[in-house]
Amino acid sequence: MDVPPDDRSVLRSVLRGKIHRALVTAADLNYEGSITLDPELMELSGIEEWEQVHVLDVTNGARLETYAIRGIPGSGEVCINGAAAHLVHPGDLVIILAFEWIRSEHVADHHPRIVRVTAENRPLEPTASEHTGHGPIRTA
């Protein structure tokens, strides 16, 4: 089915939430799967429990898809579970992404929730320079 070029009702996959450069704190090869995250980071980034996420390993280049589960609030936990523990290891830096489908006409007004973290996986406040570029960066 051809869509007219001026049809703005097309759905597009866009970044909804991101936890940027988090430190992997643990890996559990024997767990069934998933990534365990500090619920505070999940809430700030808009990532829901059981939601599909993409994990990008900055340290070694591995990329994978899994689902997020809630860890201990305030712990800074980022634990890779199951088979993914062969690819991502404690001490690696990762980027965790969640996407959503929105109509084309809403893309220009869309702003993902991006959470940058400290070396202890605590959320950082955005700087003035982070508010330029692709749109506002929110921590809440």
- Name the active-site residue from 13, 45, 67, 129: 67
Which tokens sit at 6?
A: 């001026």
**Spatial CB neighbours of 89, under 8 Å, sequence gap ≥ 6:** 24, 27, 59, 60, 80
- Name the active-site residue from 9, 13, 31, 34: 34
- Give which of 25, 35, 23 is closest to 84, Cα–Cα: 35
34 is catalytic: yes
Rounded CA gap, 119 and 80, in Å? Answer: 17
Rounded CA gap, 40 and 19, in Å? Answer: 11
31 is catalytic: no
- Give which of 106, 81, 96, 100 is closest to 8, Cα–Cα: 106
Mind telling me the catalytic residues? 34, 67
